Amino acid sequence: KAGVTQTPRYLIKTRGQQVTLSCSPISGHRSVSWYQQTPGQGLQFLFEYFSETQRNKGNFPGRFSGRQFSNSRSEMNVSTLELGDSALYLCASSRQGSEAFFGQGTRLTVV
């Protein structure tokens, strides 16, 4: 079956702009989590959605938001982009209580 799909793969934005990233989970997976990964850093948890509800949230400013649709697809939005938002954004889907499967990520560069 198809894996986790993230679009777009690469994105270049200007400071102050906003961006929306998309994630399509594995069929049957209702949990979708988002992570930020900066060079040489680990994975920083952004938020997790389950059945269209945000169930967990990491320690990121309110400029970072997300949502999940009834088909479990998820989007995350970053408003008023800053240079420090440049990172690889990873989406992971899972069945409840099991391992997470990651997409290839969206590489966001803010200039």
Partner 1 sequence: GESVGLHLPTLSVQEGDNSIINCAYSNSASDYFIWYKQESGKGPQFIIDIRSNMDKRQGQRVTVLLNKTVKHLSLQIAATQPGDSAVYFCAENTGSNYQLIWGAGTKLIIKP
Considering beta carbons, is residue 49 or 81 the nearer one to partner 1? Answer: 49
Binding mask 14-43 for partner 1 (x = CB under 8 A): -----------------x-x-x-----xxx
Residue 81 token pair: 């982009």
Considering beta carbons, is residue 55 or 63 the nearer one to partner 1? Answer: 55
Residue 107 token pair: 């590489």
Considering beta carbons, is residue 4 or 21 the nearer one to partner 1? Answer: 4
Rounded CA separation 6/25 (Å): 9
Binding positions for partner 1, 56-95, rule CB under 8 A:
56, 58, 90, 92, 94
Distances (CA, A) of 74 to 5, 10, 22, 83: 11, 18, 6, 24
